[in-house]
A and B are shown apart, each in its own frame.
Chain A
Amino acid sequence: MANGEPSTATGYLYYPGCSLKGTGIAYEESLLTLFRLLELPVTELTDWNCCGATTYMSSDERDAQLLAARNLSLARQAGGADVLAPCNACYLTLRKCVDFCKKYKSVADDVHSYLEDAHLPTLQDVAIRHPLEVLYTDVGVERLRAGVVRKWPGGPVACYYGCQAVRPYTEVDRESNPMRMDEILNAVGVPTVPYALKTKCCGASHTGTIRDVGVRLSYILLREAARQQAKAVAVICPLCQFNLDLYQAEMRRSDPSLPELPIIYLTQILGWVLGGDPKDLGVQRCVSGANTVRQWFTSEKGAPVHV
């Protein structure tokens, strides 16, 4: 593509990042199934690399930005459609690269000369989008409501947005008290509870390195959700899902009164109420509250439900 030529691409270029191929594979399965149901074309970005992530920024700022830049350059090579980055950390890192290139000439120069050395196209405006924002803005609450074919059998849900999706380089939702996930779920017949900790840190990779601290942060999130009578937590980030899901057994050893809360991706809930097959949505991969999840996600598809 020549410099300056506007993009004519349609659909979305899917940037999985490491987690959606591993611990967060249910997010990939449910996302792709949901987008298929909504007839939104999605293509995986060819030969994508690690986004650079939070951890890389701690060691080498320049290379962290260059890793992010290669992905954006590949997106341009692939036609320049919007990049769909479902992991909150990938979403932030890719957008931070764009933001820093605009703000700091030194970063823009580094990126430019690296892409030249690597024989990759220079950066152009590529939009980096999060599924929540795409569902809210491109699809819209009304279309989601109209597509509902199953009645939600589960209880009320606490919507947990996590940290890096809503700040600071973002268009997903407002940074204090985001409500888009709540609005979407309410529209498709899933009740939500007020959840003051919806953007508080889950502990991120600390659960693996300084376990007491990491698990404690996740515990506080779950305890608050339980106190609000939530029967599950809806998430939009693979690391949030991992921490809240996998460490619950450990939390219950120190606090047996903590109820088992399924940690479900927004895309799994939506995919299911819109008629997707539970297997295709990866719901069998939930660890905490697995029996509850199995019960909720087995009721039959009915006639279109008006919610």
Chain B
Amino acid sequence: MKRHIKYQVDAQADWGAMVGEQPGCERLFSCIQCGTCSGTCPVSIYMDLSPRRIMALVREGFRDDALASKTIWLCASCYSCSVACPQKISVTDVMYALKREALSKGILPKDLAIPVLAQEFCSMVSKTGRNSEFWLVLRVALRTNPFALFTMLPVAWNLMRTGRLPLGREAIVRKWELPARAAAKGVR
């Protein structure tokens, strides 16, 4: 196993504190590094850094390592870690905070469709107020791996023949009430 040494000068100590200020992340600094989060996580074996390591990196301010990890995107938000944590840290909310910063700074692991799904989902819902499942999957596939559409054909066919794949575009009626539109019109 290769060992990576971390140097204090590469850390941004105040960054960890900034993460800890976000809603749901306030217990971050009470982490005792017990590893319960990694133990309960159903996807930790697929992660490049275990959830426990992410918690340690964030606390010390190793921003780039934390944000560039696949770990934060593999988190499926099942909240197992959050309810199991003996220190009552909502690890899931810390993962969300990291995902948001990675997306806004464009620090994304290569060849991973999960952040693309987040982008496309938000862009669709912020405009129409609803998610049209068929169009969402199509847009994500076209941006990441169009050939994946072939492997999806059997699933799509089974959905269609059982009447479970509407092809229309869903939207709410009063779109002006959506957060993006209301803010533009309002006083803020």
Binding site for B on A (CB under 8 A): 18-19, 21-26, 47-50, 52-63, 66-67, 70, 92, 100, 103-104, 106-107, 113-114, 116-120, 163-164, 167-168, 175, 200-201, 203-206, 208-211, 213, 217, 246-247, 249-250, 284-287
Contact = CB atoms under 8 A, between A and B. Distances in A.
19 contacts: A18-B133, A48-B172, A53-B131, A59-B100, A61-B22, A61-B23, A66-B179, A67-B178, A70-B179, A168-B83, A203-B76, A204-B77, A205-B76, A206-B43, A206-B76, A208-B137, A210-B74, A246-B158, A286-B162
B79 interface: yes
Contact of A164 (B79, B140, B163): B79
B117 to A, nearest CB: 5
A103 B100 contact: no
A117 B82 contact: no
B130 A213 contact: no
Contact of A210 (B112, B166, B180): B112
B165 A23 contact: yes
A55 B159 contact: no
Contacts of B96: 57-58, 61
Nearest to A285: B162
B43 A217 contact: yes
Contacts of B185: 117
A59 B183 CA distance: 18
Contacts of B122: 55-56, 59-60, 63
B1 interface: no
Interface in B4-41: 22-24
B117 A67 contact: no
Given A25-B163, A163-B80, A49 B188 contact: no
B64 interface: no
List the 9 shortest-distance A-B pairs measured between CB atoms, nearest first.
A117-B186, A163-B78, A49-B129, A118-B182, A201-B78, A66-B179, A209-B113, A58-B99, A18-B131
B60 interface: no
Interface of B: 22-24, 42-43, 46, 74, 76-80, 82-83, 90, 96-97, 99-100, 103, 112-119, 121-122, 125-126, 129-134, 137, 140, 148, 151-152, 154-155, 158-159, 162-166, 170, 172-174, 176-180, 182-183, 185-188
A49 B186 contact: no
Contacts of A22: 132-134, 164-166
B120 to A, nearest CB: 9
Contacts of A114: 179, 182-183, 186
A21 B166 contact: yes
B78 A23 contact: no
B16 to A, nearest CB: 18
Contact of B182 (A92, A107, A117, A210): A117
B118 A287 contact: no
Given A107-B23, A205-B114, 17 more contacts: A18-B131, A22-B132, A22-B134, A22-B164, A22-B166, A49-B129, A56-B118, A57-B77, A59-B103, A67-B178, A113-B188, A163-B79, A164-B77, A208-B113, A210-B46, A217-B42, A250-B154
